[in-house]
Amino acid sequence: MNTPIIIQKKVEAPIDEVWEALTDKEKMKSWYFDVPDFELNTGKQFNFYEPGEEKKYHHQGNILDFVPNEVLKHTWCYPELSDKETIVTWELQPDGNGTLVKLIHENVDNFKALGDSFSRQSFTEGWNGIIGQSLKSYLE
């Protein structure tokens, strides 16, 4: 089963502010992860870790495509744990006075052999918290 995880949440903020939160590495630190080498350029690689001093779970991505204020698509992998990768797509749409944020995480089952921390349920809970709590509270 390689059904993508799809999370949709409305954020009460203009689309340009949501886009900045997704693509400005200084703003990302406030609600997402500290991604010091993030650059919004197709083909650029970026790296980050779970919060905390232990540098747990090296995450790596490559920007595949983007359209400002509309879509950001990148790979998502754990290079020290697996040679497999997944695809994360952020889509933004105006919705009244706010923005509809849609996240699509494809091929999550590529990581199921890595254990419960990498399960479909764990990713679904994580993305719901990141978008529904962290991003919303940062922007609203």
What's the order of all strands across the beta sheet hosting 98-106?
A: 5-11, 98-106, 85-95, 71-77, 59-67, 45-48
pTM of the model: 0.94
**Domain total of the chain:** 1
For the cut 70, the answer to whether the pLDDT of residue 135 exceeds it is: yes
Distance, CA of 27 to chain centre: 14
Helices then strands (H, E): number in the chain? 4, 6
pLDDT of 50: 80
pLDDT of 56: 78
pLDDT of 53: 67
| CB proximity list for 6: less than 8 A, separation 6 or greater | 102, 103, 104, 105
Residue located via tokens 């998502």: 76
- φ, ψ dihedrals at 95, nearest 5°: -145, 95
Domain boundaries, position 11: 5-139
Q: Retrieve residue 97's tokens.
A: 């006075």
For the cut 80, the answer to whether the pLDDT of residue 1 exceeds it is: no
Residue 46 DSSP code: E
pLDDT of 52: 66
- φ, ψ dihedrals at 91, nearest 5°: -120, 135
Angstrom distance (rounded) from CA 92 to CA 100:
6
Domain of 14: which CATH number? 3.30.530.20
Residue located via tokens 């949440």: 9
For the cut 60, the answer to whether the pLDDT of residue 138 exceeds it is: yes
Write the pLDDT tens digit of every residue in 46-99: 999 987 666 678 999 999 999 999 999 999 999 999 999 999 999 999 999 999
